[in-house]
């Protein structure tokens, strides 16, 4: 599609997103994400900055073969005093195996004067020369007008001269960058409309940062004002407060405007998986509140809301969750009513008569336990176990007789200060009482290891289970034994499942064990495990 209403998406996660604190992509990460973006239908994938670091050099030595997207390399204009053909930085770009080049140049006279110490007229020629050579050597050149909005507000004539230089040199796209992220949507709309009287909107792009929380809004305002190329990052990664979240931009344009994109309905459903793929590569938990793709994006907690959603989801949902690969989620908490409980039952495969007294009993039980400190809106697995135990559907897989945890802080033989935890657990499985001992880097880790020593012989299904997150919250202000502690444990397995369980106690280790016990039990139930045969005594864990 080449109509004036066609919007092109440009992903810069692998370069701009890598400037996020704590983010450091490997070559394998870049390859995996590039292919995922390509399958998503993105028009341009910015792979990195050749010549800037060994990782990007290695990536561009053998870039992945993309089907839908153009692989773009990013870099600066040539240096002053050198030709584009004789500049080391430009040489790395021109010699890369990228399909196109994005050249960044300053368009704020303040930066030209202060940061570069250059003659303004000479720098305009630097932009033109760099873009001209990039287009001749690579076929397509994109010009990122750095600090454009600040530059335009300070000196519009000079900022526009810089754009004109790139445009006349043959840049496919002239991208207006809100590099400091301080521009508001009304300013973006006005300035883009003014620029579009000089350069056609079908050759204008937008690149925004989120320092005022307006990156997505600014991107959408720019499209409405005329630009047809939007840059952003997955999940809004980026320096400082991040870049425009391309996930939100894509979904909003595709589902809420009449603009055309190349992304199909099937590809749109990959937004949630791609968003979570990035978090998986970064080894971090996905943002539950992320627009469109977060776990809470279509979660309903209040009983009044759930009752309405049950009749027609449009009452409290702006789109159908499945359009972006997400799902509706009914939360169970002390604000829940019968509608929440019944809806959650349907989600987990329990078919109950709405008039069954067990439903009302469970509603009251949830409210009572949440008053004690439990939180089922973030611990779905524990709620499912609570419900199924009330219906006597959960086997008693193992019984706990006792456990003991000790911490040892000492200097080792090499003079290093170390702290180790040791857990001793006595369990009964299949009529056999076993005492197992394990060391860990913390008490919960030690408990987990000691339990597995006893259970794996009978339940090999637990082999691929791992703990992925651990959260503690003190619920009461009292000190010492009066304080109530809530522990949330997130677990995952080799099948891509993740689940969260909760435990509450005045003792943090006891609360941790209760959450851990639920995590193991939920995994076994989902695997269809049968209770190991043998007599069983009541176990020492609160149900």
pLDDT digits (tens, 9 = 90+) for 87-96: 999 999 999 9
Percentage of the chain with pLDDT > 90?
A: 69
Residue 338 clears pLDDT 80, i.e. is over it: no
- DSSP-based three-state secondary structure for 245: strand
Strand residue runs (E) in 68-172: 70-76, 100-106, 141-146
CA 48 to CA 69: how far, in whole Å? 15
Of the two residues 498 and 332, the one the predictor is more confident about is 498
338/220: higher pLDDT: 220
**Separation CA 519–CA 538 (nearest Å):** 19
Residues 95-114 have a mean pLDDT of 96
pLDDT (tens digit, 9 = 90+) per residue, 352-364? 777 788 777 877 7
Strands 432-440 and 466-474: unpaired
Q: 158-162, 220-224, 268-272, 381-385: which has the minimum mean pLDDT? A: 381-385
Residue-level pLDDT at 330: 65
8 A C-beta contact, residue 208 and residue 192: no
Amino acid 335: pLDDT: 53
Residue 3: the pLDDT is: 61
Provide φ and ψ at 423, rounded to 5°. -120, 135
pLDDT tops 70 at residue 540: no
pLDDT at position 543 over 70? no
pTM of the model as a whole: 0.73
The confidence band for 327, taking pLDDT boundaries of 50, 70 and 90, is confident
Residue written as token pair 């200060």: 417
Instruction: Write the CB contacts of 321 (distance below 8 Å, at least 6 apart in sequence).
Output: 297, 298, 327, 328
> 186: which 2 tokens?
């009304």
3-class state of residue 410 by DSSP: strand
What pLDDT is stored for residue 422 in this prediction? 95
The one-character DSSP state at 89 is: H
Contacts for 261-264: CB closer than 8 Å, 24+ residues apart: 261/6, 261/7, 261/9, 261/41, 262/1, 262/6, 262/41, 262/43, 262/68, 263/9, 263/40, 263/41, 264/41
Calpha distance 446→244 (Å, rounded): 42
What pLDDT digit, counting tens, does each position of 511-527 carry? 999 999 999 999 999 99
């Amino acid at each position: 599609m080449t109509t004036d209403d066609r919007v092109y998406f440009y992903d810069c996660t692998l370069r701009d997103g890598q400037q996020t604190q704590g983010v450091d992509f490997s070559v394998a990460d870049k390859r995996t994400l590039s292919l995922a973006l390509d399958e998503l239908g993105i028009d341009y994938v910015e792979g990195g900055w050749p010549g800037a670091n060994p990782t990007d050099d290695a990536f561009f030595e053998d870039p992945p073969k993309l089907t839908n997207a153009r692989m773009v390399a990013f870099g600066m204009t040539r240096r002053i005093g050198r030709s584009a053909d004789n500049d080391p930085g430009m040489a790395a770009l021109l010699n890369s195996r990228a399909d196109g080049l994005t050249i960044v140049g300053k368009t704020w006279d303040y930066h030209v004067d202060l940061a570069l110490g250059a003659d303004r007229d000479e720098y305009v020629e630097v932009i033109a020369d760099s873009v001209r050579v990039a287009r001749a050597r690579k076929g397509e050149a994109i010009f990122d007008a750095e600090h454009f909005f600040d530059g335009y507000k300070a000196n519009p004539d000079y900022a526009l001269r810089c754009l004109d230089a790139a445009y006349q040199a043959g840049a496919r796209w002239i991208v207006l960058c809100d590099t400091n992220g301080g521009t508001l949507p009304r300013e973006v709309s006005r300035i883009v409309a003014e620029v579009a009287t000089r350069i056609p909107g079908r050759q204008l792009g937008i690149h925004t940062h989120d320092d005022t929380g307006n990156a997505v809004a600014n991107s959408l305002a720019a499209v409405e004002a005329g630009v047809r190329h939007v840059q952003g990052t997955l999940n809004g990664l980026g320096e400082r407060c991040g870049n425009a979240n391309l996930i939100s931009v894509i979904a909003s344009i595709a589902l809420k405007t009449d603009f055309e994109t190349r992304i199909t309905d099937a590809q749109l459903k990959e937004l949630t998986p791609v968003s979570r793929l990035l978090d998986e590569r970064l080894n971090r938990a996905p943002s539950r509140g992320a627009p469109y793709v977060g776990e809470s994006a279509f979660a309903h907690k209040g009983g009044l809301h759930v009752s309405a959603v049950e009749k027609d989801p449009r009452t409290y949902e702006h789109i159908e969750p499945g359009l972006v690969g997400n799902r509706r989620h009914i939360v169970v908490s002390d604000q829940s009513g019968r509608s929440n409980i019944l809806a959650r039952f349907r989600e987990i495969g329990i078919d109950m008569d709405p008039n069954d007294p067990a439903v009302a009993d469970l509603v009251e039980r949830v409210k009572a336990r949440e008053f004690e400190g439990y939180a089922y809106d973030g611990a779905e697995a524990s709620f499912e176990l609570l419900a199924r135990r009330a219906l006597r559907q959960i086997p008693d897989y193992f019984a706990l007789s006792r456990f003991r945890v000790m911490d040892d802080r000492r200097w080792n033989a090499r003079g290093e200060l170390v702290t180790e935890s040791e857990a001793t657990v006595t369990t009964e499985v299949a009529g056999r009482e076993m005492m197992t001992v394990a060391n860990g880097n913390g008490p919960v880790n030690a408990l987990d290891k000691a339990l597995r020593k006893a259970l794996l012989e009978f339940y090999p299904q637990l082999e691929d289970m791992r703990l992925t997150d651990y959260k503690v919250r003190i619920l009461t202000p009292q000190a010492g034994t009066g304080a109530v502690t809530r522990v949330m444990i997130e677990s995952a397995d080799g099948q891509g499942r993740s689940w969260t369980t909760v435990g509450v106690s005045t003792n943090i280790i006891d609360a941790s064990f209760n959450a851990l016990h639920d995590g193991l039990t939920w995994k076994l139930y989902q695997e269809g495990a049968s209770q190991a045969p043998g007599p069983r005594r009541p176990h020492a864990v609160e149900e």
